[in-house]
Amino acid sequence: LSLPPIKCQEACSNLALRSLLHSLNEPSCNFIDNGQSDNRGVAGFYSGEGFIMLVPIFTLKLNHKINPRMVAVGKYDGVHPCLTAATQAGKVFIHNPHARNQRLSSNRLVQSAHETDISLLNINQSVSCLAAGLLDPHQSCDSLIVGTQTNLLAYDVHNNSDLFYKEIADGANAVVLGSLGDVSCPLAIIGGNCALQGFDCRGNDLFWTVTGDNVRSLALCDFDGDGKKELLVGSEDFDIRVFKEDELVAEMTETETITAMCPMYSSRFGYALSNGTVGVYDRMSRYWRIKSKNLAMSIHAFDLNSDGVCELITGWSNGKVDARSDRTGEVIFKDNFSSSIAGVVEGDYRMDGKTQLICCSTDGEVRGYLPSSQETAGSLMDTSAEQELAESRAQASEPDGQMGVIPANTQLQTALSVTLGSETQVSHVELSISTSNDTIIRAVLIFAEGIFEGESHVVHPSVQNLTGRIRVPICPPKDVPVDLHIKAFVGYKSR
C-alpha cells in the first residue's frame, strides 16, 4: 500500500466546532489542535474580526416565487434600482417601487395585474440564467440579459424593446456582464455546453472559445493583477479555469461542480460547490474552505465594516444567510429566512446614498441590510462584555469551577502506520491520535478531500470506551497527497 504524505493542521470552522460542542453537551471539555488548549470556552459567539452586525432596514413580501441563482439589481433608466428575478412559467419580474403606476407600451413587458410596482417580462421558455448591467457604453442605463437553453435575450427595460435576440446552439447555463481583457466594449458573456461566447450591445459575437466541460458559473476578476479582467469559468468537471480573453492561463481542480463564483477584490474571489462547500481563492492559492450539509445557493462579496475589504456573503438552502471573513472564513454575521435563499445582491434600493445588502428567498421575501451604527455596535459590545464578566465571576465563585479545565500544555499527538490487512480486514493506513497527559478524547473531527464521504469524518466513542487514544482506519482511494485537518474534543472523565 502506497502511503500518501499527510499533514495534520487546523482547518475546521468555528461554527462546526460550536455545533458539535452543543450536541455533546460536555461543558468540561475543550477543543485543542496544534498542541495548544483553549480555556476560554466556545459557548459564546466570538469574532476575531470584531463585533459586526447587519441591521435589516426593509422587508418586502413579493407575491412571486424566485428561481435560485437568478436575481439581479439593475438601473434600467439610469437612476432607479430595480430588483429583477426569474420566476415561474418562463417569466421575469421587475420590481420598481420608485415608479409606481408607470404606463407600459405593449411588448414583452407587461404590468402585473395585482401589483403596481411589478412588471413581468414574458420569455415563454424556462429561464436558465439572468444578469443586469451596463452593456451599451454610450448609454447610462443598464440592460437586462436573460438566457435559456436555446436563446439569449438582451433587453432595454426602460424603452421596453429588444437590444438583440440570439439563438444559442450550446445553451446558456451562466451569464456575466462586464469588460474582458483588451476588448473595447462591455460584453454579455454566456457559458453553455463546453462553449463560451461574448456579445456586445448590438449582438455582435466578439468573443468565443471552448472549455473542458459544461459551464455552471462565470465571474470576471483581475486574476493576474494587470488591471484587466480575466474570465473565471466553473465547470461540471470540477475545474475552475481562468481565461485571459481566449487563452487559458490557470486551472484549479475542486471536488465538485462549481455552482457560483464572485470577485472580492484584487485577485481574490469566492466560490461555491454543489456539495455545500464555499471558500476563497487568491489567484491559485486557496485561503480557506468550509463545508455544510446544506447547499450554497448564492454568494456575494460585500464590505460589512467599511474597511475596504469585502466579506463573503453566502445564502444557503436552509434559509440561512451568513457573512465570513475573507481571510479566515470565520462567521461574523448570520440571519435566517423561512425558506431557501434564492439570491444575494446589493444596491441603493432606498435611494438614500447607502448601499444595502439585499437577500431574497425562493418564497419572495426580500430583506435589505445595512451595517449597524457605531453607537449601536458599541452598546452591543458593552452588553457582551458585561455578560462575559458576569459569567467569569460566577465560575470563580464555584469551588469546583476549574475541575473541567485541561492543562495549558496539553498537546495532540498523531502517528501513522500501515496495516497490511488479513482475511477479515482490508489493508489501510491507521491514524493514531492521542493526548500528552491523562486527559481523554471524547470526539475527533477529520476533514479531508477525496477520502471520506462528504469530505469529513467524526469519531465519537461511547462513554464506556473513552481513553486518551483514538485509532482511525483510512483507506485512500488513490495514491495522491492528502491534507488531513484534525480537531479533537478533549477533557477529563466524569467524576
Looking at the DSSP bridge assignments, the partners of residue 9 are 485
Given this model, what pLDDT does residue 475 score?
Answer: 87
CATH of 14-32+405-491, one of 2.30.30, 1.10.10, 2.60.40, 1.10.1760: 2.60.40
**What pLDDT score was predicted for residue 29?**
40
Give residue 275's Cα distance to chain centre.
12
CA 219, CA 275: separation in Å to the nearest integer?
A: 20
CA atoms within 13 A on the CB side of 87: 21
Query: Topology of 58-105+112-376 in CATH?
Result: Methylamine Dehydrogenase; Chain H (2.130.10)
pLDDT at 33: 40
Segment 43-50 long-range contacts (CB within 8 Å, at least 24 positions apart): 43/18, 44/384, 44/387, 44/388, 45/18, 46/14, 47/325, 47/330, 47/331, 47/332, 48/325, 48/328, 48/330, 49/305, 49/325, 49/330, 49/332, 50/305
Cβ-proximal residues to 364 (8 Å cutoff; 6+ apart), any chain = 61, 62, 63, 64, 65, 66
Residue ranges of the chain whose pLDDT lies below 50: 1-51, 105, 374-381, 401
For residue 490, the Cα-to-chain-centroid distance in whole angstroms is 31
Report the alpha-carbon distance of residue 112 to residue 121 in Å, rounded.
10
CA torsion angle for 243, 247, 250, 252 (degrees, to 10)? Answer: 60
pLDDT value, residue 3: 36
**Phi, psi (5° rounding) for residue 335?**
-150, 170
Q: How far apart are CA 6 and CA 290, in angstroms?
A: 19
Per residue in 236-246, pLDDT tens? 999 999 999 99
pLDDT of residue 306: 78
Residue pair 112/124 in contact by the 8 Å Cβ criterion: no
Q: Would you state the pLDDT for residue 390?
A: 62
d(CA 223, CA 493): 52
Specify the pLDDT at position 113: 55
For 240-284, write each residue's pLDDT tens digit: 999 999 999 999 999 899 999 999 988 999 999 999 999 999 999
Q: What are phi and psi of 25, to 5 degrees?
A: 55, 50
- Listed by start position, the domains of the chain span 14-32+405-491, 58-105+112-376
* CB-CB contact of 262 with 299 (8 Å): yes
